[in-house]
Amino acid sequence: MPYTPNLAQNPSESTSLDKLKPGKCGYVVKVKAESDDIKKLMAMGVCEGRIIKLVHLGEPMILQVLGSRIGVSSRLGETVEVAPCEEDNCCEQGQCSEE
């Protein structure tokens, strides 16, 4: 059974990954990068439908993806559109862990 995250009330209220608050989880809605950058992001696990957590905002941004932490440039973070999860710390509570 596919996992459905508990997103904000209005899923159209998506934002770029670099605007997500540290500690928040989000559901990747779209990646608007160039072809080569999309391949890099996908190789790191950042793709449409994925739940990711912003651990640290800066250069690089630190993301938690599928249990691993990765560093992504802010430039690439701007190209990833996410729908923030409703609850704070939902990743720690296991509500956003992908099965």
CATH annotation of 15-84: 2.30.30.90
39-43, 60-64, 89-93: the lowest-pLDDT one: 89-93
Average pLDDT rounded to a whole number, residues 21-48: 91
Q: Three-state DSSP class for 40?
A: helix
Residue type, 76: L
User: Does pLDDT of 3 surpass 90?
Assistant: no
Query: Do 66 and 3 form a contact (C-beta atoms < 8 A)?
Result: no
